[in-house]
Amino acid sequence: MKKRVIIDCDPGIDDSLALMYALSAPELEVVGITVVCGNVPTDMGVENARRVCRLMGRQDIPIYAGAGAPLSRPLVTAQDTHGMDGLGETHIPEVTEEEWPHTRFSEKTEAGGFHVHSDLPDAVAFISKALSEEKLSVIAIGPLTNIAMALQYKPQIGENVERFVSMGGNFKSFGNCSPVAEFNYWVDPEAARYVFEHMECPVEMVGLDVTRRIVLTPEMIRGLEQLGDPKADFIVKITRFYVDFHKKQEGIDGCVINDPLAVGYFINSDLCKGIDVYTTVETKGLSVGQTIVDEKGFWKKKANSRVLTRVDSPRFMRQFMSALFGSRGEAVLR
Ligand code: RIB
Ligand code: CA
């Protein structure tokens, strides 16, 4: 049985790899892609998600634009990391309306007894409606603004979220937006805190503690170059800028690909170990965006999260490359 999922993302280079993975994995049925402001402004993220779906031959997937700004603060993008175009300054031709008419969330009326406020972003309306109709899982790999808005608009949808996997936060690993904060939760800490406090199921937090171990190395990139596969060529192309950034910023050879691990872990949670614990997010002051993980139960609050602490990264890479390239994926990892 395929697992039906919504992917909420801010593509973004590693988001694009995660989308490619999710669209290739036989275990998943992606029922919709929702885009949130984060790495890049929302409309650019929508265009990049469309570019990835075109590459994957998946123009059947509805893509909806979400929140254009965080709940209560201005957007700070990560275009220094992902390029001004969000895909490593590759300026890949956009998907034209003729090629693939934009998906609009048309039920913005009383149609079917589902009424949304006209100012509700399409993605939020879609998430609310989809989760009103069936149990689904959500893999969130960007800031949590869309998710928080959907829960605020229709709190009861939380009961229909089978699993909620979020790439974000950090437990014992240092931050990437400040000494203590990770980008997705730092961009919209109010949304992150709201989701941790209001999601019925535990937030399965795929944070920097585990994603920093997922490195696309120069050797793997060379392996991809030799595959002669359009998907491999795309990965090589969009990660070049990202590799340069990682060398300069964190002295890493290669690049950390955070978001694909959220997909890989959703498919096979044996890849990671974690702790069931109460977590919240700081929303002000110097440590704004920091995930506060109450490992010792100091506040005696019910566990609302599974915070991942270890990952079998070679096993993840095999799983990732095999989903994308089948048996040829092994050649990339030799
Ligand atoms: O901190 C890493 C996360 O922030 C990743 O999801 C990356 O795409 C950005 O959204
Ligand atoms: Ca992301």
Does 10 participate in catalysis according to the annotation? yes
Listed by start position, the domains of the chain span 3-332
Distance 143 CA to ligand 2 centre (A): 7
Distance 110 CA to ligand 1 centre (A): 36
Q: Whose CA is nearest to atom 10 of ligand 1?
A: 142
Q: Look up residue 112 and give its DSSP letter.
A: G
Residue 111 pLDDT grade (very low, low, confident, very high; cuts 50, 70, 90): very low
Q: What percent of the chain has pLDDT over 90?
A: 91
How far apart CA 286 and CA 306 sit, in angstroms, is 25
**What is the CA 174 to chain-centroid distance, rounded?**
20
Mean pLDDT of the chain: 95
Task: Tell me which ligand sits closest to the C-alpha of residue 181.
Answer: 1
Task: Tell me which ligand sits closest to the C-alpha of residue 38.
Answer: 1
pLDDT surpasses 50 at 121: yes
Q: What is the pLDDT at residue 119?
A: 78
Task: Evaluate: CB of 188 within 6 angstroms of ligand 1.
Answer: no
Distance 118 CA to ligand 2 centre (A): 27
Ligand 1 pocket test: which of 141, 177, 188, 215 has the largest number of ligand atoms within 8 Å of its C-beta?
Answer: 141
Task: Evaluate: CB of 39 within 6 angstroms of ligand 1.
Answer: yes
What is the average per-residue pLDDT within 16-43? 98
How far apart CA 122 and CA 33 sit, in angstroms, is 11
Task: Evaluate: CB of 258 within 6 angstroms of ligand 1.
Answer: yes
How far apart CA 24 and CA 11 sit, in angstroms, is 17
Ligand 1 pocket test: which of 258, 263, 290, 308 has the largest number of ligand atoms within 8 Å of its C-beta?
Answer: 258
Distance 81 CA to ligand 1 centre (A): 10
Distance 207 CA to ligand 1 centre (A): 10
**Closest Cα partner for 278 from 205, 206, 209, 208?**
205
- H-run or E-run covering 82: helix 79-82
Ligand 1 pocket test: which of 75, 170, 184, 281 has the largest number of ligand atoms within 8 Å of its C-beta?
Answer: 184
Q: What is the pLDDT at residue 102?
A: 79
Task: Evaluate: CB of 10 within 6 angstroms of ligand 1.
Answer: yes
Residues with CB under 5 A from ligand 2 (ion): 10, 12, 15, 141-142, 259
Task: Tell me which ligand sits closest to the C-alpha of residue 212.
Answer: 1
Residue 300 pLDDT grade (very low, low, confident, very high; cuts 50, 70, 90): very high
Give the 3-state DSSP-derived string for 288-333, with helices as H, strands as E and coil as C: CCCEEEECCCCCCCCCCEEEEEEECHHHHHHHHHHHHHHHHHHHHC
pLDDT surpasses 50 at 112: no
Q: Which residues are registered as beta bridge partners of 33?
A: 7, 63
Full-model pTM:
0.96
Residue 103 pLDDT grade (very low, low, confident, very high; cuts 50, 70, 90): confident
> Check: CATH 3.20.20.70 for 3-332?
no
Task: Evaluate: CB of 47 within 6 angstroms of ligand 1.
Answer: no
* Between 113 and 288, the higher pLDDT residue: 288
pLDDT digit string, tens, across residues 48-67: 999 999 999 999 999 999 99
